[in-house]
Each structure stands twice: as structure tokens, then as C-alpha cells.
Amino acid sequence: MAVTRAHLAGREQCFQEVDRVVNSHILHGSESLCKLLRYLTEQTLDHPGGSVKEYQIATEVFGRPGNFDPHLDSTVRVQAGRLRLKLAEYYNSEGAQDPLVVELPKGSYALSFHLGTPISSRLQPWPQDHLQIAQETAQPFPRTPPIAIAMMALLLAVAVGVIAVLLTRNYPRGSQTHDSTPAAYQIFWKTFVSGSEESWVIFSNGAFVGRPETGMRYFNSAHDSSAVILDHYTGVGEVLAVHELDRVFNLLKKNIRVKRGTLFSLDDAKNNDLIFVGSPAENLTLLEIPGTQQFVFQRLTSGPRKGDLAITNVHPQADEPKMFMGSPSTGALTEDYALIGLVRGLDPAHSALILAGTTTMGTQAAVEYVCRQDSLEELLLRLSVSKTGELKPFEAVLHVKVVRGVPLKADLVALRTGAP
């Protein structure tokens, strides 16, 4: 541990400084980075001189399994790099006058605490003798006539008006707002906001029979009449997902067009950039257009999990399962798996983004993953996309932890890049 002037910067002061950083605007919404910072703080202060291992962080902070291999999974290094940048950003803005400075030196997972130098203390006081001379030699300003003051005020108002007009002409309000949008949003969503037409959001709405007041169930073509299908219900996750997408597109100064899956046509698919919310099990249009090739939704037809929806791993890599399956449908939902897939559309000039879980909670988690800055930055790093780079087709699988019907955490567990 590197704690400069440890007798001045005690343990309690270090934890207080970390609390300031965690509660800052810079780390607002970055749950994974806050968790990592607190963990590294405890390890650094509780085990001075020790070294925190990458495997230890992966399993204890990010929930990686015991067979975690840092050569195959760069999550810890990626998150540590992001935390290092956020700390530097914090102390160059909000934390410029904090009494302590927290750093994560490169090549180490041990934090460094040292005394900071507030900006105000860098300003040297004016010597008393100079102050006295200034007071003695200072002369009062001549009194300005009221008419002159009025003329100056009028000229100032005109000048401000002219400047405002010039700024409006040269820098439209929309571009100013867009330029202030985090780079991760601009890179990931570029395909869907750069065209003249609105992108379409197609949310799933499964086919049910029955009535809400008497009980509903999925439509079964073997013994149900298509005349009694209810196709205007969707899951909680899909509702919140559409809201989250609307928020992001509003941030990017672009509108979206929302449509339920049963009303969507192939003509729509040919002429627009599409965002599908929900799996092919309920978003049936996905069965008729190009979809993901490496990770495919499949309903199990035999065994104890018969009828459950899973994600098949078509070409599993080392230490990857052949299937990603969440909680059994017969018990409480505590985990789910979700898919994020960017593929070419029916018209190669357009793209389709598939955001879907094996349940509605997984679908919500997939959408939130690409709508939140910290997880989106992690995804772009894993895809090796630079600020000037182009986002190419990819497929990713998320493991989602669910608590009381809320997806609380989503981890990227498998990734494939390039068009199939």
C-alpha cells in the first residue's frame, strides 16, 4: 500500500474520501466501478503491503466462477482502467480541493492515498506591506453620470443580442446538446441516429388466450382457436425497456417509432433500422429475418427443463457451456440470460439490434446494459472499438441476477464479433 504521510491521512479519512468519490457526479450510475473502488480500498487498508490478485477481484467483486481465466476474460483489467480514468477526471473537477487524493497506479490493484493540494491553497496571499501600499495609493474612480450609465447598459444589451444571434446561427442547439452526449452513446447508437428516418423499436407481445379477469395462458395451436387470441399484452421488462430506449434517443436528439411485434411486417423490416425488444419466442417477426448465428434462442423439448427457453451456444469456446439457462420456470426467478446482437438487416444498408432475455427480466437487463454509460463503455472496450471506430456486427450473452422481480446486475459472459 502506498499511503503518503500515513500519520496525517488515517484510515477513517481514507474511507471518507472514498465515500466522496463514490457519491460524486463522476461515478454516478457506475455501480460496478463504485463496488470495485470500495473493495480495493478495504483490501489496501486492511492488508498494507499486500497485492490484490486479478483472480481475487474477478471472483469476489464481479462474480466470476472459480474457473476464471484472466487470459480469456479481461473484465478486471477493463474495469480497473475505467476506474483509473474516472479518478483522474474526478480530481480534475469536483475533487480538486479534496484533502486527500485516491489513485490507482498502473500495473497494480493497490490504491494510493496521499494528501491533496486544494486549488485555494495554491493562491499565495498578498504580502501585508504590499497591501498597505496599495491601499495608500489607490484612488477612487470618478463618478459616472447617469446618462452615460444608461447608454452603456443599452450598448451592452445590443451586444449580447448580436452575440446570441451569431451563436444561434453557427452552433444550433441540437448539435450543442449532441456534442455533450457521452462518446459511448454516440459510438454505439450511431447507426440508429445518423439516418434521416426514425429507427423502429419492435417490442414482443405474446399470443395469449383467456381474459385477465379469469386467467390467461399462452396460445396453443393444437387445441386453441386463433379467433380468441389476445395479442395486446407484453411483459414488465419490455415496458421499462422501451422507456429506457426513449430516454437515450431523446438524449441523442432523435425520435423512435414504437410498434408491437404482431403488427410488424416484412416491408417494415426491409426499409428501416430496427431494434427488437424481446426474444423470438414472443417477438415472432425475428423468426422471419436474419438473426443471431452464434447464440440462438431454443425452447427445450425434453428433460426436466422441458418447455423452458434457453440460449444455445452454437460454437462454445473453452470453459463456456453449451446452453445458457436461467432459473427453472417451476421456481422463483433469481437469474436469467440475455442476448445482445447487432446484425445486418434484410437490406444490408440497414441494421437490426436484438435485445432479448429468456424472460422479461432478461430483456429489461439487455436494454439497460446498452443504455447505461458504464456498461456501454465496458462493452465497447471488449469489442475494441475506439472513439473514431465503427461498430461492427457482434453477439453477446449476459448473465443477469434478479432479486424480487428486478434485474440488479448483468455481466458479459460470452462474446463473438464479426458478421456470420
At residue 245, the pLDDT reads 95
C-alpha cell of residue 23: 457519491
The candidate with the shortest Cα–Cα distance to 16, out of 99, 96, 87, is: 99
Confirm whether 189 is domain-assigned.
yes
pLDDT of res. 140: 44
Q: Is residue 66 part of a domain?
A: yes
Contacts of 409 (CB under 8 A, 6+ apart): 31, 63, 400, 401
Within a domain: residue 72?
A: yes
Task: Name the phi and psi angles at 406, rounded to 5.
Answer: -130, 125
Closest residue by Cα to residue 354 from 274, 413, 241, 264? 274
Domain boundary among 98, 120, 142: 120
Within a domain: 314: yes
Mark whether 76 and 165 lie in a shared domain. Answer: no
Per the CB < 8 A criterion, the answer to whether 353 and 269 are in contact is no
Helix (H, G, I), strand (E, B) or coil at 38: helix
In the numeric block, which cell numbers belong to residue 349? 444498408
**Same domain, yes or no, for 352 and 404?**
yes
Query: Are residues 76 and 36 both part of a single domain?
Result: yes
Classify burial at 219, counting beta carbons within 10 Å of its beta carbon; exposed 0-12, middle 13-18, buried 19 or more.
middle
In a domain, 258, yes or no: yes
Give the whole-angstrom CA distance, residue 8 versus residue 92: 23
**Does residue 292 form part of some domain?**
yes
Q: Which domain holds residue 324?
A: 183-417
Whole-angstrom distance, CA of residue 48 vs CA of residue 114: 15
Residues 206 and 95 in one domain: no
Kindly state whether residues 232 and 260 are assigned to the same domain: yes
Q: Please count the structural domains in the chain.
A: 3
The predicted pLDDT at position 339 comes to 96
Residue 244 and residue 257 share a domain = yes
Both 361 and 377 in one domain: the answer is yes
pTM greater than 0.75 (yes/no): no
Amino acid at 20: R
My answer on whether 397 and 251 are in the same domain is yes
Residue 134 lies in a domain: no
Contact present, 54 and 77 (Cβ < 8 Å): yes
pLDDT reported for residue 248: 93
CB atoms within 10 A of CB 409: 17
CATH of the domain at 97: 1.10.10
Residues 401 and 413 sit within 8 Å (Cβ to Cβ): no
193 and 155 in a single domain? The answer is no
Q: Are residues 369 and 230 in the same domain?
A: yes
Question: For each of the chain's 420 residues, which pLDDT tens digit applies?
Answer: 344 433 345 788 899 999 999 999 888 778 889 999 999 999 988 888 778 889 999 899 988 888 888 877 778 888 888 898 889 888 888 888 898 899 998 888 989 888 876 444 333 333 444 334 333 333 443 444 555 445 555 444 444 444 344 434 333 333 334 457 888 899 999 989 988 888 889 898 777 888 888 888 877 777 777 777 777 788 889 999 999 999 999 999 999 999 888 777 777 777 788 999 988 777 776 766 668 889 999 989 999 999 899 999 999 998 899 999 999 988 899 999 999 999 988 778 888 999 999 999 999 999 999 999 999 999 999 998 876 678 899 999 999 999 888 898 999 999 999 755
User: Which three cell numbers mark 59?
Assistant: 471472483
104 and 170 in a single domain? The answer is no
